């Protein structure tokens, strides 16, 4: 009986830890969305239109994270840029997705120009477009 009482606090702590992690666990749908989006983005082709990219990537498979998650538009001289953001990093909280969990897909004058934060930051700098820092 004395041995049981000694291990009881540790057992309760372990149970508490397991139960508290349950609410933070990523959903299987989120994992599927990340893998799916990353695999489809890796097969994009320069010159595609936004509609072609959206059709190519398709739905994310996670109702809480639609494809694309969001979009932005900018203009610079005779050029305009449309940026579509797709979810590509697995996190525990899909209610609070940050820019670091997204990949920007960059369209210049409605044709795919490139993707990734480095590409978008360089294109923005070259075209004097002010974007928020992530």
Domains: count for the chain: 1
Residue 18 forms part of a structural domain:
no
Residue-wise pLDDT tens digits, 27-55: 566 676 678 788 889 899 999 999 999 99
DSSP state letter for 27: P
| HSE-up of residue 3 (Cα within 13 Å, Cβ side) | 0
Helix axes of 28-41 and 50-57: crossing angle, nearest 10 degrees: 130
Whats the size of the chain, residue-wise?
134
pTM above 0.75, yes or no: no
Structure tokens at 11: 């057992």
| HSE-up of residue 26 (Cα within 13 Å, Cβ side) | 16
Residue 5 forms part of a structural domain:
no
Residue 30 forms part of a structural domain:
yes
Q: Which domain holds residue 33?
A: 26-126
């Amino acid at each position: 009986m004395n041995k049981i009482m000694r291990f009881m606090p540790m057992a309760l702590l372990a149970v508490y830890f397991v139960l508290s992690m349950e609410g933070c666990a990523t959903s299987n749908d989120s994992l599927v969305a990340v893998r799916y989006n990353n695999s489809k983005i890796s097969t994009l082709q320069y010159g595609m239109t936004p509609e072609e990219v959206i059709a190519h990537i398709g739905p994310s498979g996670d109702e809480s994270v639609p494809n694309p998650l969001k979009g932005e538009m900018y203009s610079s001289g005779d050029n305009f840029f449309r940026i579509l953001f797709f979810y590509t990093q697995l996190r525990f909280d899909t209610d609070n997705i940050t820019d670091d969990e997204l990949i920007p897909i960059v369209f210049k004058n409605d044709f795919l120009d490139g993707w990734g934060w480095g590409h978008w930051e360089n294109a923005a700098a070259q075209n004097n477009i002010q974007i928020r820092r992530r």
